[in-house]
Amino acid sequence: MFMYEVALEFVWLKRLLTYLGVDFVVPMQLFADNTSAIKIATNLVLHDLTKHIEVHVHYLGQLVSEALITLSYITSEDQTTDLLTKAVLKARHWFLAHKLMFRQHHQFE
């Protein structure tokens, strides 16, 4: 479900940028740690092997086939969103904050 919601935001952002005159042809890249969801959304043949496919998975597949987005795998350890959504230890907090280019207050002085 998360990938679907982010894809909706991507489409909205692309339309907004196009409206503002910023055109780009490179698809937006969506990172996820769920390999089975990525495979189902990117490979239409797998749909026959699954019992139920929800509408949002079909929508993701459509966006991938139209080259509006690409789905890429990222390990759970490298998910930078964990910094904003989960309680993490101090070392992991600073590792993820560094990836997001957050800095401590005293580094700006």
Residue-wise pLDDT tens digits, 51-88 = 556 677 778 888 888 888 888 888 877 777 777 778 88
**Residue reference for tokens 């459509």:** 62
Residue 21, pLDDT > 90, answer yes
* Per-residue pLDDT tens digits for 24-48: 778 888 888 878 778 877 776 655 5
How much is the pLDDT for 60? 84
The answer to whether residues 57 and 41 touch, using CB atoms and an 8 Å cutoff, is: yes
**Residue reference for tokens 């996820």:** 32
Question: If we measure between CA atoms, which residue out of 88, 68, 76, 87 comes closest to residue 26?
Answer: 68
How open is the CA angle 63-69-75, to the nearest 5 degrees?
120
Its pTM stands at: 0.64
How much is the pLDDT for 19? 93
Helix axes 55-65, 2-19, angle to 10 degrees: 40
pLDDT grade for 105, boundaries at 50, 70 and 90: low
Query: Beta-carbon neighbour count of residue 40 at 10 Å?
Result: 19
Between residues 20 and 35, which one has the greater pLDDT?
20
φ and ψ of 21, to 5 deg: 95, 10
